[in-house]
Structure 1
């Protein structure tokens, strides 16, 4: 049986069962769109069910792990725009659900800077490795958003309240050393060794009993799965409302204005060369 193929991800499945799933939009820093979320969801659901997959490795290609959600001008005034945002939110919520329930070993190899959902979703992985240049940013307050991907629960649980609040409420970027110190990242691996070392560790894990891995993961995760699902429901309901507030709409428009201005300035600078 053939493997699923994806437009926005580079994938491979080793004979032993390591499935590598890599963000592959390096020209835009692996940014997330509705289509990217959908492929991520489809791959996660497929990998959970296919017996050929024993370990799922999530990583990125290029300089960034993932720059987070593509920011576009909000369009809630039209029915089509409002429905499109609602549909995207449903896909994102479904992806979080799939990550919460994922029954196999899920390893993240963060190969560079990570933003937004790319950071919050890491807390739902079983193990996180990262390069020395990796940084972690959740710029939700700058955009008048709110916490997502269960980060309102997982971040304080993993990092402690004050460190979590620095990220979620103050938008502070944390270094990989800080994330290792607070237990969010397992350890750092040199940039030129990250892929090789992570795949090696994943391959070693395929030698273990799949049943034993699932049972142990369930023992770790089952007590909090109902909580995580409820948190996911609450966060997505709040986010649906929050992105429609005047403050969020103004912040999004200002972000797009600034981005367009920078592009025009770069074009003008190139034309003078």
Structure 2
């Protein structure tokens, strides 16, 4: 009996090792970045499976990436190598399955899908160009590449045959705003360059919203944070699900407002309410945002998509040139001022990004995220 037991155990281990190696190969075939939290889990499980419990010295506090990796591995404690192999294999399998399921959701025959995007989905149907944030595993956080993709999509939507453009999010979140992992691999000596490049990119990004020539509608399907909230003053209509929230935690992160919100929010909701949001990080419910003029209308979540898209299709059937000309009349007097505000906000942010306050806030963020 002991001999049989040993034989079965050895066979199981052999299969497990084979599956583990196969999972490593499958992981390389993933087309979509699974996100840093998932990559940390994969790293930790791989190290635990191949080397056992964490045995390396703890990295320095400012070495964000190595510190996050070390914390992830160390958090697995005494988990056995067999169990780590199993968990690694199961996690890769779930990622492969999720990606395969996503690829089967083809666009409808009359919906044109625009190629060349990784982090957003751009489609045109019924005279509407829809730009959808598509990093649901990262709560649609906006990384540098995604910023550039949105810029490109807006520039193309401004010139195509659509009547209106719509921005929304895929999954539970509208977007969680700027991806703080944009700061992750920056060495202290490169902080100034990072800040300068980041401010230049942000200025170009916001300028696309200021200059967009057609009606622009935000369909806020869930929580919105940071830049996604501050930009709302540049949209022509904002529709929100009743489960959406609106949060601008800039001072909490050692940063400052952007998206022309320092100018537009006091105009939209009054100085006192704008101060609560932009200075003191107050999170608004959809109903509160609507009452303060930031949101046009709120819909029950269960009927949100159906009601909003029925309305948008009706808007998109209106005369295209008439809508564009009317928007320009409404917006043209403010354009020069908005570009000046955008420039000033980006200058201030460039200084903020190199400040000790901001650096300490980012260190705290990564410490929290590294705990699995």
What is the TM-score with the length of structure 1 in the denominator? 0.90
**For 2:188, which of 77, 91, 96 is the aligned residue?**
77
Q: Which residue does the alignment assign to 1:251?
A: 361
2 and 251 in structure 1: CA distance in 2 versus 1, 3 angstrom threshold: closer
Answer yes or no: is 1:62 the counterpart of 2:171: yes
Displacement, 1:219? 1.3
Structure whose residues are more often helix by fraction: 2
Q: Aligned equivalents of 2:127 and 2:218: distance in 1?
A: 16
Q: How does 1:222-261 map to 2 (within 5 A)?
A: 222-261=332-371
Q: Which residue does the alignment assign to 1:13?
A: 124
Q: Is the 8 A contact 1:133 1:176 kept in 2?
A: yes
1:141-196 per-residue CA deviation (whole Å, 9 max, x = no partner) reads: 01110110101011111111111100000001011111111111111122233233
Displacement, 1:21? 1.1
Q: Is the 8 A contact 2:230 2:261 kept in 1?
A: yes
What is the TM-score with the length of structure 2 in the denominator? 0.67
Q: Is the 8 A contact 1:106 1:126 kept in 2?
A: yes
| Contiguous gaps of at least 5 residues in structure 1 | 264-273
Q: How does 1:1-273 map to 2 (within 5 A)?
A: 3-14=114-125, 16-50=126-160, 52-72=161-181, 73=183, 75=186, 77-79=188-190, 81-261=191-371, 263=372
Q: Which secondary structure state, in structure 2, belongs to the residue aligned with residue 104 of structure 1? A: coil
Q: Is the 8 A contact 1:41 1:91 kept in 2?
A: no
106 and 222 in structure 1: CA distance in 2 versus 1, 3 angstrom threshold: same
**Higher RCO, 1 vs 2 (CA within 8 Å, ≥6 residues apart):** 1
197 and 43 in structure 1: CA distance in 2 versus 1, 3 angstrom threshold: same
Which stretch shows the higher mean deviation, 195-204 or 41-50?
A: 195-204
Q: Aligned equivalents of 2:152 and 2:115: distance in 1?
A: 9
Q: Aligned equivalents of 1:184 and 1:3: distance in 2?
A: 30
Displacement, 1:205? 1.4
Q: Aligned equivalents of 1:76 and 1:166: distance in 2?
A: 34
Q: Aligned equivalents of 1:229 and 1:76: distance in 2?
A: 31
Residue correspondences, number: 259
240 and 111 in structure 1: CA distance in 2 versus 1, 3 angstrom threshold: same
Displacement, 1:130? 0.4
Q: Is the 8 A contact 1:10 1:23 kept in 2?
A: yes
Displacement, 1:121? 1.1
